[in-house]
Structure 1
């Protein structure tokens, strides 16, 4: 009898109609829950403190309004089949009706772009910026060693000089070299990273032939918060930083101070001998202060102060023990960025303005390299002042208009290139038109843009772009064309001896097609991205040997073709996440550098044709566990593509574990990581061994 009664009660429970429905409110960029969101259904307000809300089933198939601080308000219809609502951040763009749940493209054209939200665990997992970025598809890194040494990345087979780097929308590539050491950007000072593959004709100035990286600092909030982090590893490297957010009388402000220092103690093999590497020590300091003040409900003004200083060894390529003993060169760096920002919200858009000044100072000293019996010394000071104006307006006919103007003045004082200056500016506009289908959630987007760049003396570059997208509720298909350029660096123009004042800007035409697709069913959520691209560069600048010295020439045509595939699958609301990323790239030389040149059609040096990354991420309770595998195919070290001059392929396995311990209103994170688990010896640049196996510990205490 009791068994029958229990079965009867169980049947009632299973057959009873549900009276409530669970809703998830997520960030449209990274699918992270939006804490503090509010959902308005009729006259009733429901809260979602952790990005989840439970509402009565009577609101199914009814329109509700979703609001959250820092996100655009959205009106949507909830259905039993789709319980996920995505919101766009308000710092980005105005939402368009059918694409409110789709990721926008910061370069104005549809492309395979990524938005990386830097988490607290990632700040403990990675010691430097390049460690985070090289796990993304389409990105290849070059490094002169471990932490504190030169670290650069390039996109889609292009060079580091053809990859534009921005900080809070401000271009910061080195004026003399044309590239940037990403070690100068501490990971702890960055909140969001936009990876814009294939160029960014609307974002900034020269250098985005391969793509662009836009690092965005965390805007100061309106509540008291802090974080203290410390890391140490077995290479005798350490890192500490303090971040404080403290609003005062309506002034939102935050301050970050950090130090990163160490010895990079590891060995390299020469023949059968294991040799300790020398002159890899470094000492870096960084400071970032931000302030924001609301002038009105829709207008605000902000200030950014960023300073980075470094003293480090600048080792030459490793050969053997005797050459390593003479490694004594040193490099000092002091970079500063000051920016004043104004933002005014409009009824259906916004206007923004930035004034900035940045200074680059560095000094190089090598006592072992004598010129006229005097040790080599080099001093370089570069500066840039600029203004960036942008205006966006969303019409009532689903047309997003973007326009703007940039102007900048650049000057250098260099012991190697002399004293020079130049002015450049640009005007640009884009149109994004929506063509909605009769079925909700479907429709076309057409995008057109034009940027006119003005360079001194008396040069101009026209950059047209076009894109087409078909959006559907779970993804999109897209095609795009972009034209990009790179102006010659100051060193290429004026370095003595060898500078060439007659250099022209490099020009590139890029084509891309691909799709994004998201699948959700029960406990499984999976996102697939596929992109095919081709980039053709003309007038590429190459340093060639002459009778007495090397000189740069506009002589080379280059073609880059490739495929990028990404898949991220989550189970049980992210308790288990599987990530796989594949990059296939072939970058070849299309033209002869000189008469009798037989290297036409060869692969450019240091361009591996296959990159693969795979990771498994577990979150059991308060733990985070991750194992990852990273593979790079071989890469030639010379344009001759000799079978004797190449870097072998390699595969590296890393492990990471973190534990989050709540302490009332505070929290403490503990982490352990093991890099290069199987102690693989490999290089990203010939003669510069990467660290072998090492372990690291991390600790972070923060106010939740």
Structure 2
């Protein structure tokens, strides 16, 4: 009780001081960034940002992009089907997806399907390793993936068109536009992708049946400078998906799944020399229709609407102290054939204090308390910092308590929902080393995670599955990352990037590795550029994983490609690209009995003007 009162007092004092601040000048750098916490309050965390060139090069899917360029392991129910991440040995619901500063994980199953995300819809994509529940709420235990639409307030008017065609009748059309001046900025994008997805199952005489999919992503983002102190920003995204669900080696698929997602948020910001205050409101809606027989009109339905309101304050208390605090209210309304019409109200209060001890040492102390109408939430905290030894070497450290809340499915699913569930709790510590020598960077992280009250669905004596707080899981591991950028003469460059992860994720009741968590995962890529040509090679290794009743073999898979960039006119640039995926025609499954595609070709044309 004393901790809660002290914490509430800290937030109250900071909010009151904000209204007394004089804010004479706008800082346009604040306007450009959609998630300031990722850049300003993450000294002790490993944060990786994917380059735009990497995103455009890996035009297959968001899952493929991250599998080949991060330490996240993915479970895919066949190519283009449901894709679930396993970040640092945790479950899919332990990876938070943050869209322009707000958590968009499903209120039904607690996770995000990464095959519904179009990476070309964002200006920047960040990966934040380790616990982040204080800043980003439920589910940020293994790490978080950040999707940002940053707004540019300078004179520009740019267009990008991408046309792609490849094996299995896969077609992609993407258009992006960006416009801005000193007072107005906007960007607009639309992406459509369709595929027959009928690849052959290697080692068999059959192929992927019932795997067709098509999806449409639309996004619009805009900002307007109201005065030298005030800015309004709007973000919107729509996703419409229609896909059949692939079968397995032992059973052909006949079902299909339609899902729509709509997200809109409006933000007002007041900027000054010492304080920035923001008011944000957002409306999110997710809905699905599942057809067990695609040829029948009979289906199950589910829908959740979310309303979010947040007030945040970021203020400079002195030359060495900075405080960020925010209050947030969330209202959830659900409706579905299997969980009725539940509602939930959540309120949270958060405070982050940054201390710049010296030019070499900075740390953050953070607290968060959630209050919910459905469950009891713990007080969570975080301590992270960075110490710069010299110009070549930094040490990072973070420790935190994190949580995941029960979802509507966990609480209300009929039959089986459990209204007595507690929020999951997780404690972790992470030590990181950062080395830089010219164009060479090397990162090494060691971490330990202890999770309590993990929610797990188990069959009861009556045969009905129900979730309970049961699992006690211990996770520890090492992550290494090596990057090399080297310029050879005037017109040649070479870039190399590799990641390696060793992960132990052990159920303390059985002393066995959790299913679908590989002990070893590694990837590497090398790109060579000469004049207007760029050639790249990517390699992914996933070690064996435990599955129910056995083990799934590990696999190596590789992609190779070439791009040529030219200019037709002064303002019209084009890029022709060709890639061969799974170049060695490797048979592999990342979920049992669900083979992934054989060797296939993808081509693309990108126009920039």
Scaled by the length of structure 2, the TM-score of the pair is: 0.90
Scaled by the length of structure 1, the TM-score of the pair is: 0.78
Are residues 1:668 and 2:539 paired?
no
Partner of 2:514: 604
- Give per-residue Cα distances to partners, 1:538-565, cap 9 Å, x unaligned: 0001111112211111011011101000
Residue 251 of structure 1 and its aligned partner are, at CA, apart by 3.6
- Give per-residue Cα distances to partners, 1:319-356, cap 9 Å, x unaligned: 1xxx32xx210111111111101222210342222210
Partner of 1:82: none
Report which stretch shifted further, 344-353 or 163-172: 344-353
Residue 157 of structure 1 and its aligned partner are, at CA, apart by 0.6
Partner of 1:503: 421
- Matching of residues 262-341 of structure 1 within 5 Å: 262-269=195-202, 273-319=204-250, 323-324=251-252, 327-341=253-267
- Matching of residues 221-232 of structure 1 within 5 Å: 222-232=155-165
Residue 656 of structure 1 and its aligned partner are, at CA, apart by 1.7
- Matching of residues 493-572 of structure 1 within 5 Å: 493-520=411-438, 525-548=439-462, 549-572=464-487
Partner of 1:646: 551
- Give per-residue Cα distances to partners, 1:55-78, cap 9 Å, x unaligned: xxxxxxxxxxxxxx9658xxxxxx
Q: CA separation of 1:515/1:282 partners in 2, compared to 1, >3 Å: closer, same or farther? A: same
How far apart, CA to CA, are the structure 2 residues paired with 1:542 and 1:220? 45
Larger-Rg structure: 1
How far apart, CA to CA, are the structure 2 residues paired with 1:450 and 1:423? 20
Equivalent pair of 2:78/2:246 in contact (CA under 8 Å): no
Equivalent pair of 1:231/1:697 in contact (CA under 8 Å): yes
Report which stretch shifted further, 422-431 or 571-580: 571-580
Give the aligned length: 576
Partner of 1:701: 607
Q: State which of 25, 43, 46 in structure 2 corresponds to 1:112.
A: 46
Q: Secondary structure at the match of 1:177?
A: coil
Partner of 1:478: 396
Equivalent pair of 1:138/1:197 in contact (CA under 8 Å): no
Equivalent pair of 2:34/2:148 in contact (CA under 8 Å): no
Q: State which of 169, 177, 189 in structure 2 corresponds to 1:256.
A: 189
**Structure 2 unpaired stretches of 5+:** 1-26
How far apart, CA to CA, are the structure 2 residues paired with 1:513 and 1:155? 17
Equivalent pair of 2:434/2:441 in contact (CA under 8 Å): yes
How far apart, CA to CA, are the structure 2 residues paired with 1:276 and 1:661? 39
Partner of 1:627: 537
Partner of 2:378: 461
Are residues 1:180 and 2:112 paired?
yes
Question: Structure 1 segments of 4 or more deviating over 3 A?
Answer: 69-72, 88-94, 104-109, 246-251
How far apart, CA to CA, are the structure 1 residues paired with 2:230 and 2:297? 55
Residue 400 of structure 1 and its aligned partner are, at CA, apart by 2.1
Q: CA separation of 1:699/1:91 partners in 2, compared to 1, >3 Å: closer, same or farther? A: same
Q: Secondary structure at the match of 2:211?
A: coil
Q: State which of 177, 183, 186 in structure 2 corresponds to 1:244.
A: 177
Equivalent pair of 2:35/2:148 in contact (CA under 8 Å): no
How far apart, CA to CA, are the structure 1 residues paired with 2:124 and 2:421? 36
Partner of 1:658: 563
Residue 531 of structure 1 and its aligned partner are, at CA, apart by 0.3
- Give per-residue Cα distances to partners, 1:251-302, cap 9 Å, x unaligned: 4222212211011121225xx6320111100111121111211111232101
Are residues 1:130 and 2:35 paired?
no
Report which stretch shifted further, 347-356 or 667-676: 347-356
How far apart, CA to CA, are the structure 1 residues paired with 2:33 and 2:260? 33
Are residues 1:202 and 2:134 paired?
yes
Higher RCO (CA-CA < 8 Å; seq separation 6+): 2
- Give per-residue Cα distances to partners, 1:614-652, cap 9 Å, x unaligned: 1111111112211121111100112xxx5xx21101001
Residue 376 of structure 1 and its aligned partner are, at CA, apart by 6.0
Are residues 1:354 and 2:271 paired?
no
Q: Secondary structure at the match of 1:135?
A: helix
Q: Secondary structure at the match of 1:176?
A: coil
Q: State which of 394, 408, 418 in structure 1 corresponds to 2:316.
A: 394
After superposition, the CA RMSD in angstroms is 2.3
Partner of 2:94: 162
Q: Secondary structure at the match of 2:410?
A: helix
Equivalent pair of 2:175/2:191 in contact (CA under 8 Å): yes
Q: Secondary structure at the match of 1:274?
A: coil
Equivalent pair of 2:417/2:466 in contact (CA under 8 Å): yes
- Matching of residues 387-466 of structure 1 within 5 Å: 387-436=309-358, 443-457=360-374, 459-466=376-383
Q: CA separation of 1:173/1:91 partners in 2, compared to 1, >3 Å: closer, same or farther? A: closer
